[in-house]
Chains A and B, each alone.
Chain A
Amino acid sequence: MRKVLGGLFRVMPLLFGLGFIGPLIAQILTLAGWTLPGDVAPLAVGMVIGGVWGGIATLTGRWL
């Protein structure tokens, strides 16, 4: 249990990026009415930004 939770919290920034930052960016893009080139879905943009940002935060230990 301890190992599972330890592993979960180690990758939490990545999960946070995908689980929260991604949908948040998507919702902001939709509300702002921004249309993206090639009709890319706002959620796809959010997941890429959230995933990359969260991945970097997982590796470096810093969001900022």
Chain B
Amino acid sequence: MIAVPDAATLGAMDAKALNRLEKDVADQFMGGVPWGSVAWGLCNLAVWLSLWPLTLMGILPLWAAFPIATLNVMLCYLPSHEAQHRIIAREGEPLFWLNELVGYVSTIPLVLPYQVARLTHYEHHTHCNDPVLDPDAGTKAAGPWQSIANSIAYRQPGSKGQAAYGECLARLGTPEAQKAGVQALVSQLGYLAVLFGMAWTGHALEAALLWWLPRHIGVTYIQFFLSWAPHHPGTGNGRYRDTRAFRSAVGNIGSMGMQFHIVHHLYPRIPLMRTPAAYWALRPILEARGCDLERL
């Protein structure tokens, strides 16, 4: 492990030396396959899929399946997020197929196609907190309760938030973005076809409690902890100002590692499960740079 000097020494370092040190410290946490995230993504999907036959065959009661399904939706985004950043494997590497598999399948419960998530997420990184160009800027809110209210408003059929990802893809205008738009359309129609089909064959409640309601709760959770909380107040711009570290009332696991989200924005290729260690190693440097580290 590279030793980070004390605050006085860091303060006396020139920008180039500080950049070098920061990168060297961060580099220690990159590389290797994050097997934990791979297992997380695939097992989470397998559990969610298994809930359907288990409840339809009467093996598992719906009241027990509902909280599991809700947890599955809440958990399904982050493994795909690792894939979006090619953390599992890069293009040309032998395990790139696994990266893409995790990316494509893990967000099925969320009805968020991988390429839509990937392209819009890159735009979020590039234009973080920009009210027009950041597709996640709509989650900005004055406080936690307003964030939850915003998330619900965001999903209303006529809301601007509902159109944000589509507008982002249209703005990109590349063949890849057009393809992602088609994938979004197909997945949305597929989702509705399943809900309608289940409903008209006498299984509306199963569809509601295994997918529709868990998805709404999951999206609210994800927008709160993955989008609002780490970027709050959502006004900073630039590498060291557009996100923060914060102490969550529900801890690191309850907030799915987002307390250390600042590390992800600085070094997106550090796997999620290594961001806490990377944060503590980088903290003196981030403090010297004046980052918002709240009480963490």
Could you tell me which A residues sit within 8 Å of B by CB distance? 5, 12-13, 15-16, 19-20, 22-24, 26-28, 31, 57-58, 60-64
CB-contact partner of A13 in B157, B195, B204, under 8 A: B157
The DSSP consensus for interface residues of chain A is helix
Going nearest first, the 7 A-B pairs with the smallest beta carbon separation are A61-B158, A23-B199, A24-B204, A19-B196, A23-B204, A62-B156, A27-B204
Q: Which one of B26-34, B72-80, B115-123, B205-213 contacts A?
A: B205-213
Residue from the set A19, A23, A62 with the largest chain B CB neighbour count within 10 Å? A23
Distance of A31 Cα from B62 Cα, bound (Å): 13
State whether A26 touches B204 (Cβ < 8 A). yes
B156 to chain A, nearest CB (A): 5
- In B168-205, the 8 Å CB interface with A consists of 185, 192, 195-196, 199-200, 202, 204-205
A8 to chain B, nearest CB (A): 9
Given A16-B192, A19-B199, A20-B196, A58 and B157 touching (CB < 8 A)?
yes
Write the chain B residue with the least CB distance to A16: B192
Q: Is B47 an interface residue (CB 8 A)?
A: no
A24 to chain B, nearest CB (A): 4
Distance of A61 Cα from B157 Cα, bound (Å): 5
The count of residues in chain B whose C-beta lies closer than 8 Å to any C-beta of chain A is 17
B55 to chain A, nearest CB (A): 14
Q: Is B152 an interface residue (CB 8 A)?
A: yes
Could you tell me which B residues sit within 8 Å of A by CB distance? 152, 156-159, 185, 192, 195-196, 199-200, 202, 204-205, 207-208, 212
CB-contact partner of A12 in B157, B204, B207, B212, under 8 A: B157
State whether A27 touches B157 (Cβ < 8 A). no
Task: Name the B residues within 8 Å of A64 (CB-CB).
Answer: 152, 156
Task: Name the B residues within 8 Å of A61 (CB-CB).
Answer: 156-159
Write the chain B residue with the least CB distance to A61: B158
B201 to chain A, nearest CB (A): 9
Task: Name the A residues within 8 Å of B152 (CB-CB).
Answer: 64
Task: Name the A residues within 8 Å of B192 (CB-CB).
Answer: 12, 15-16, 19-20
List 15 A-B pairs, Cβ < 8 Å. Answer: A13-B157, A15-B192, A16-B192, A19-B192, A19-B195, A27-B199, A27-B204, A27-B205, A57-B156, A61-B158, A61-B159, A62-B156, A63-B157, A64-B152, A64-B156
A62 to chain B, nearest CB (A): 5
Distance of A15 Cα from B5 Cα, bound (Å): 63
Write the chain B residue with the least CB distance to A11: B157
Write the chain B residue with the least CB distance to A13: B157
Task: Name the B residues within 8 Å of A27 (CB-CB).
Answer: 199, 202, 204-205
Given A19-B195, A20-B199, A63 and B204 touching (CB < 8 A)?
no
A34 to chain B, nearest CB (A): 15
